[in-house]
Amino acid sequence: MVVVAQGSNFDGIGFADACRSANQPFVLVSQKAAEIFFPPVHQRAAARLAYDAARHCYFVARHNLAVTQHQLGLTLPRASVVPNPFNVPHAGELPWPASAPVVRLACVARLEVLDKGQDILLQVLALPKWRQRPLHVSFFGSGGDEPALRDMAELLGLHGRVTWAGQVPDITTVWATHHALVLSSRYEGLPLALVEAMLCGRPAIATAAGGTAELLHDNETGFVAGAATVAALDEALERAWLRCADWPSIGRRAAAEARAYVPPNPGELLSQHLLQLIEN
C-alpha cells in the first residue's frame, strides 16, 4: 500500500491517480487545506477520483477535512483526523521564564508569508501603541521570504523590537525564555508550533487559520484572532496584553488542554491504523 503524503490537500494527486490507474492500494495524508486553493481545473476530475478511491484519507484538522469535501463536492466516508508527531515531551510543561522588563513573544513558523503571514504581525508591531510597550518578538524559522520580511521590518522602523532567530535544534529552548506564541497565519493544518507551545505551558495569540481554533480556546488557553488581518490580530493581542498577569495560569490550562487533545504517540497510532488497512 502506498502512502501519498501531501503538504496541502491536492499536491499529491498525480501520484494518487497513478496508483488508482494501476489498481495499487493507497491512502492520502493532507497537511493543510486553504479555502481559496481549489484543485486545479485540469486536475479536478482526477482529484475527485483519487479521493474517492483512496483506502483512507487522513487530515490533521477537522477544518481541513471539511474544506476538502467542499472543494471536491464529495463526502469522504473513509476519512479521519490524525495529529502529527511533536518535538517536545507530552508532559513537557516548563517553568515560567524569569521575570523581565520586556514581554517576549516567539513567532515559530517558516518564513513564507503566503501561509504564515508574518507581514501581518510586523504591521501590528508598527502600530503606535505597540511601539510604546515593552514587547519584543523573536521570529524562529527560515524560508524564502526572510529577506523581504527583514526589509519590511527595517522600513517600519522595528529595529531592536524584533529578532530573526533562525532555526533551533531544540524547541524547548525557545519556551524556556519566551512568554507566549504569536502566529499570524493565513492558512494552516494544525500548527505544530501551537501544539508544542501549549504542551510547554505557553499561551498563544493566533489567527483562526485551519484547525487552530479546534485546539486553542479563546480567552481560556490563549487568544484567537478571528481573521488574518492587522485589525483582528491587533484586537486579539490587545486582549492578551490586558491579561498579561494571567499568562502563567493560562499556560497551565493550555498544557492540560493539549495533553487531552493530542495523544502521546500519534505516529504509533497512525502506523497501527495503516497496518490494519493492509491486513484488511
Q: Provide the pLDDT for residue 98.
A: 87
Q: Would you list the DSSP string of 219-255?
A: TTTEEEESSSSHHHHHHHHHHHHHTGGGHHHHHHHHH
Report pTM: 0.94
Q: Helix or strand or coil: residue 82?
A: coil
Q: Is residue 14 very low, low, confident or very high in pLDDT (cuts 50, 70, 90)?
A: very high
What secondary structure letter does DSSP report for 163?
E
Cβ–Cβ under 8 Å, residues 53 and 18: no
Quote the mean pLDDT of the chain: 97
pLDDT at 267 over 90: yes
pLDDT tens digits, one per residue of 191-246: 999 999 999 999 999 999 999 999 999 999 999 999 999 999 999 999 999 999 99
Residues forming CATH 3.40.50.2000 domain(s) in the chain: 2-83+264-279, 103-261
Residue 92: pLDDT over 90: no
**pLDDT band with cut points at 50, 70 and 90 for residue 20:** very high
pLDDT band at 261 (very low <50, low <70, confident <90, very high): very high
CATH H-level, domain 2-83+264-279: superfamily: Glycogen Phosphorylase B; (3.40.50.2000)
Residue 165 CA, chain-centre distance (Å), reads 19
CA 208/CA 28 separation, integer angstroms: 25
| Residue-level pLDDT at 99 | 82
Burial track 62-89 (b if 16+ CB lie within 10 A, e otherwise) = ebbbebbbebbeeebeebeebbbebebe
Q: What percent of the chain has pLDDT over 90?
A: 98
Which CATH class for the 103-261 domain?
A: alpha beta
pLDDT in tens, 61-76: 999 999 999 999 999 9
User: pLDDT class for 273, splitting at 50, 70, 90?
Assistant: very high
pLDDT tens digits along 145-196: 999 999 999 999 999 999 999 999 999 999 999 999 999 999 999 999 999 9
